[in-house]
Structure 1
Amino acid sequence: MRRLFLTALTAALTVSAAGAQGVPAPRPIPPGEPPATVTATRNEPTPLEFTADKLSRLKVPAGFELKVMATGLGNARSLLVMSDGGIYLTRMKQSDLWYLKDVNGDGQIEALERKRVAQNLGTAHAMAVKDGKMYVAGEKNIWVMDMAKDGTMSVPRVFATGFPDAGQHGARGMHWGPDGYLYAAFGSPNNDAPTPNPEDATLLRISPDGKSREVYSRGLRHTIGFGWHPVTGVLYGWDQGSDWHGDNIPPEEMNVLERGKNYGWPFCYGDKQPDPYVNVSGIPGQITKAEYCAGTVGSVLNNTAHAAAIDMTFYTASQFPAEYKNSAFVAFRGSWNRSEPSGYYIGHVAFDANNQPTGVTPFVSGFVYQDGDVWKQFGRVAGVAQYTDGSLLFTDDQSGVLYRVLYTGGQ
């Protein structure tokens, strides 16, 4: 009898020791949620080539004038303006980098004033310049090149690599931060499901030598346009919400991006609102979606769903009226999955006297319109940048147009 007791005790201790050594515990069962039904629409406005007669369709605020600076640029995406008036342009589909400069000062950039300075940069998008070197971010790599005075580049070399697969979000955002580190945004590879790669749907902070990096902010589906406010130094970013969740959710959102914070994607949107159309099973731990969202950071400003914010720049010049200084301009590329299209404009983000964002309104609009029962568009705005004279530049990556907005209404 005693022998049977010792045998049972030994078996029990063996099982207990095995559990202590890491036998996997059962995965928590997620809490249930009520059913949610979504009505979604695929509505891609008919694309049209830009022609000069369409310029009259575009609207700018009173006192401003819109001009075409260049055409025939192909898939014109991001812009970077140098102090001497040189303009660098990435073309994502062509994976190359161009240098444009209005040498004769006539307000036009003709064919002889353009040159390709780098190529074979896979899905080249964002650019950043530091200490005479150009950095270009693509899907899996960030390249670095030495810059010459005439705008040409050395042979590209890899600065950092091994970034996540892009999936449906290949456009990268990138800027050197005031702390001397390189910040680069990498979107989610899918619409609304968490992934095992910790660098998906994040803003990364990369060391100046490119050899190490950390996740600075996470839970960002696709934050391409971001930057530091010129007065407060606060880092703002515009995030694109998930698709196929209806006409009005989730909104496009402007966030204050902080180190170590979670901004909720894919389970939450806007001001910590649970997304009813995302499966709760992906949430870590046995908590509800509402409990998870309560631990995330909410947006500071929202805009119409699916408008697709793709770039942002702060305005620091004096060519525009004083109320525009230290405000922001955002390129909303435009929707393809909303019954009434959203986006297709350059938006203006106003800031109050305390340098807090108060709202976003169209600044350059008219690219999309309804012709009978058919929606049409002749421009997908992409890059936006401040020019050397204080005017505003932006690109259309569909027809390859570079636009320029000037204030002519008097101070």
Structure 2
Amino acid sequence: MHTKYSKMFRYLILTSLAAVVLACGNSGETEKADPYFSADDDNGGLNLAPGMKAYVVAENLGRGRHVAVNANGDIYMNLREPHEKGGIVALRDENGDGRADQIAYFGDFGGTGMAFHNGYLYASNDSTVFRFSFSSGNLVPDNATAPDTIVYGLPQQTAHAAKSMAFDDQGYLYVNVGAPSNACQQEDRVKGSPPMGDPCPLLERTGGVWRFEADKIGQNQLEHGYRYSTGIRNAVALGYNSSDKHVYVVQHGRDLLNSLFPESFDEGDNAEIPAEEMFRLRDGADFGWPYCYFDPQQGKRVMSPEFGGDGTTVGRCEGTEQPVMTFPAHWAPNDIKFYQGDHFPSKYKGSALVAFHGSWNRAPLEQKGYFVAFVPFNNGAPSGTYEAMAEGFAGVSTIDSPSDALHRPTGIAEAPDGTILVSDSVTGKVWRIFYDGAS
């Protein structure tokens, strides 16, 4: 009996020691808890695709725009406008529960664009792309008060001002420069106002995506920028697909067909036309704005009434680059990310996630959007219809006006562990979405 209990005692001691060693690891520090198993009871208020869970990382941070994650897991979100604390918010999880324990603000500007590239944090306001550096491992960048200016002199405008951005793997930075106009009218959105001209003069500096060198300081749009693709009204959603080496955008389509041309379009047309279009960019491509728009009911691009269109004539739009996919009108796509991780099921690998900010101009119909879509891709092209990955951001069942929405998804980022972060533009909420396979 004595021998039996001695062996049992030694076994318990050894297994306990082994557990301590595994928990501490080589560094001697306690292993962090696994955030995959800490979903909020209500998934942060979201309705998710099967197998998905979510929790709120932080909230009430300020009106969030795009979001990015550093290699160490720190999260950064650009704010639409700075407040007394700063224009960029940084989040760090210190105890491993997935929530933000340390929150810091820096920068005296706000904006939209936010991305990591080669270890640097890039952020944009409405006229400039800045670069922040980290060498000390701190949450706040070393040069927080004096970041590098990568691109300056981008046009500041009251409409479509966001300068979103993306990087390829060839050393280039791509910046959206939206057109400050609905359809290039002399008086914007005014019935009977003629076009500014043909060609539209706005296309000289706006209405497209410009390319710059990713690591070169002090580039000006007029001197150093290269107009890579044109005829794009506004592309807040801008992302690089490493699978086929192309930049993709999802365009905000035009508005007010019925209001401006009631003799040719009714309220239903106003709500359902035009489609929001996904484009695969290429050097020199022309996607047709302001002369054309895509009619989802006819399944084709037609001429804009401002330039002589009647709602059915293709005309000069015949030679424009076609979309690779379309979405319903006015959903306001605000970010696109191509998933590269292994955390989600294999169908997500190389596919696109699109954040739809939500419509304001589908009256008299209900407003739509306000969700994150999964778009399957295969061999560099959409391979099926989009699906809802995360819904319920608005927090209400019926949305008559955007002001009804409690939250609006705006930015998407992929964390190093393969989970997904989504930002909110109303109060500044950040969710983490993960897969547990149990649903």
Class of the TM-score when normalised by the shorter of the 2 chains = 0.7 to 0.9
Corresponding residue of 1:143: 130
Corresponding residue of 1:203: 209
Q: Aligned letter for 1:171?
A: A
Corresponding residue of 1:63: 51
| Counterpart Cα distance in 1 of 2:244 and 2:75 | 27
**Which of 331-340 and 97-106 deviates more?**
97-106
Corresponding residue of 1:265: 289
> Is 1:379 matched up with 2:407?
yes
The alpha carbon displacement at 1:367 in A equals 3.1
| Counterpart Cα distance in 1 of 2:113 and 2:212 | 15
Corresponding residue of 1:128: 115
Per-residue Cα deviation, 1:122-144 (whole angstroms, up to 9, x for no partner): x4221233444332221112223
**Which of 56-65 and 86-95 deviates more?**
56-65
| Counterpart Cα distance in 2 of 1:217 and 1:141 | 20
CA contact (8 A) 2:287 2:321 kept: yes
Residue 269 and residue 85 in structure 1: after superposition, are their counterparts in 2 closer, same or farther (change >3 A)? same
Residue 165 and residue 118 in structure 1: after superposition, are their counterparts in 2 closer, same or farther (change >3 A)? closer
| Counterpart Cα distance in 2 of 1:223 and 1:240 | 6
Per-residue Cα deviation, 1:39-77 (whole angstroms, up to 9, x for no partner): xxxxxxxxxxxxx99867531112111211111111111
Corresponding residue of 1:344: 370
> Is 1:76 matched up with 2:64?
yes
Higher share of residues assigned helix: 2
The alpha carbon displacement at 1:372 in A equals 10
Q: Which has the higher contact order (CA 8 A, sep 6+)?
A: 1
Q: Aligned letter for 1:309?
A: P
Name which of 98, 103, 106 aligns with 1:114. 103
Residue 56 and residue 213 in structure 1: after superposition, are their counterparts in 2 closer, same or farther (change >3 A)? closer
Name which of 290, 296, 320 aligns with 2:320. 296
Q: Aligned letter for 1:179?
A: Q
The alpha carbon displacement at 1:197 in A equals 5.4
The alpha carbon displacement at 1:195 in A equals 3.7
Q: Aligned letter for 1:218?
A: T
CA contact (8 A) 2:367 2:399 kept: no
| Counterpart Cα distance in 2 of 1:128 and 1:403 | 18
CA contact (8 A) 2:233 2:251 kept: yes
Residue 395 and residue 231 in structure 1: after superposition, are their counterparts in 2 closer, same or farther (change >3 A)? same
| Counterpart Cα distance in 2 of 1:374 and 1:204 | 33
| Counterpart Cα distance in 1 of 2:44 and 2:167 | 38
Residue 320 and residue 196 in structure 1: after superposition, are their counterparts in 2 closer, same or farther (change >3 A)? closer
The alpha carbon displacement at 1:108 in A equals 1.0
CA contact (8 A) 1:140 1:162 kept: yes
| Counterpart Cα distance in 1 of 2:106 and 2:157 | 25
CA contact (8 A) 2:271 2:361 kept: yes
| Counterpart Cα distance in 2 of 1:137 and 1:272 | 35
CA contact (8 A) 1:327 1:349 kept: yes
CA contact (8 A) 2:168 2:247 kept: no
The alpha carbon displacement at 1:104 in A equals 1.1
Per-residue Cα deviation, 1:236-278 (whole angstroms, up to 9, x for no partner): 2111101223111111111110111110111212376124443
Corresponding residue of 1:31: none
Percent of residue pairs identical: 30
CA contact (8 A) 1:280 1:289 kept: no
CA contact (8 A) 1:330 1:348 kept: yes
Residue 191 and residue 323 in structure 1: after superposition, are their counterparts in 2 closer, same or farther (change >3 A)? same
| Counterpart Cα distance in 1 of 2:44 and 2:177 | 37
CA contact (8 A) 1:166 1:187 kept: no
> Is 1:230 matched up with 2:224?
no
> Is 1:390 matched up with 2:418?
yes
CA contact (8 A) 2:366 2:398 kept: no
TM-score for both structures, normalised by structure 1:
0.78
| Counterpart Cα distance in 1 of 2:300 and 2:227 | 21
Name which of 78, 94, 106 aligns with 1:90. 78
Counting matched residue pairs gives: 349
| Counterpart Cα distance in 1 of 2:376 and 2:104 | 36
CA contact (8 A) 1:250 1:275 kept: no
| Counterpart Cα distance in 1 of 2:44 and 2:154 | 43
| Counterpart Cα distance in 2 of 1:390 and 1:142 | 27
| Counterpart Cα distance in 2 of 1:183 and 1:370 | 37
Question: What residue ranges of structure 1 are gaps of 5+ in the alignment?
Answer: 1-51, 282-287
**Which of 144-153 and 365-374 deviates more?**
365-374
Q: Aligned letter for 1:192?
A: A
Secondary structure of 2:350's match?
coil
